[in-house]
Amino acid sequence: MSIQEQDVQRGWLFRTPNNQERIVLGFNSENKVVYASRGGNVGGPFSVREASSIERFVEKCSERLEQYSDEQMEQVKAQCNAQNLTLTDAL
């Protein structure tokens, strides 16, 4: 199932074909998608924080899974901050 640009919204969890999960944290001043990701272990922590163009994000994700509540989003942000994850641009 492919996703569309309008599907990319804050708080939604997406999956890539490689089973990586990405949660959209929001958009930066350059209108890039800011997201946190975790590998194939869905029980594991979000271990990377990145920004990419919306086109690239849509290209790399294969499905939209679920919408996180505000409380869950705060937990993800706290988890990223606790790991001192810096924001990087996705290649």
| pLDDT given for residue 91 in this prediction | 39
| pLDDT given for residue 85 in this prediction | 64
Burial class (CB in 10 A: 0-12, 13-18, 19+), 90: middle
| pLDDT given for residue 4 in this prediction | 94
Question: By the 8 A CB rule, do 46 and 53 touch?
Answer: no
Grouping H, G, I as helix, E, B as strand and the rest as coil, residue 25 is strand
Name the nearest CA neighbour of 85 among 23, 30, 43.
Answer: 23
Residue pLDDT tens, the chain, 91 long? 679 999 999 999 999 998 899 999 999 889 999 999 987 767 788 888 899 999 999 999 999 999 999 999 988 888 888 877 665 555 3
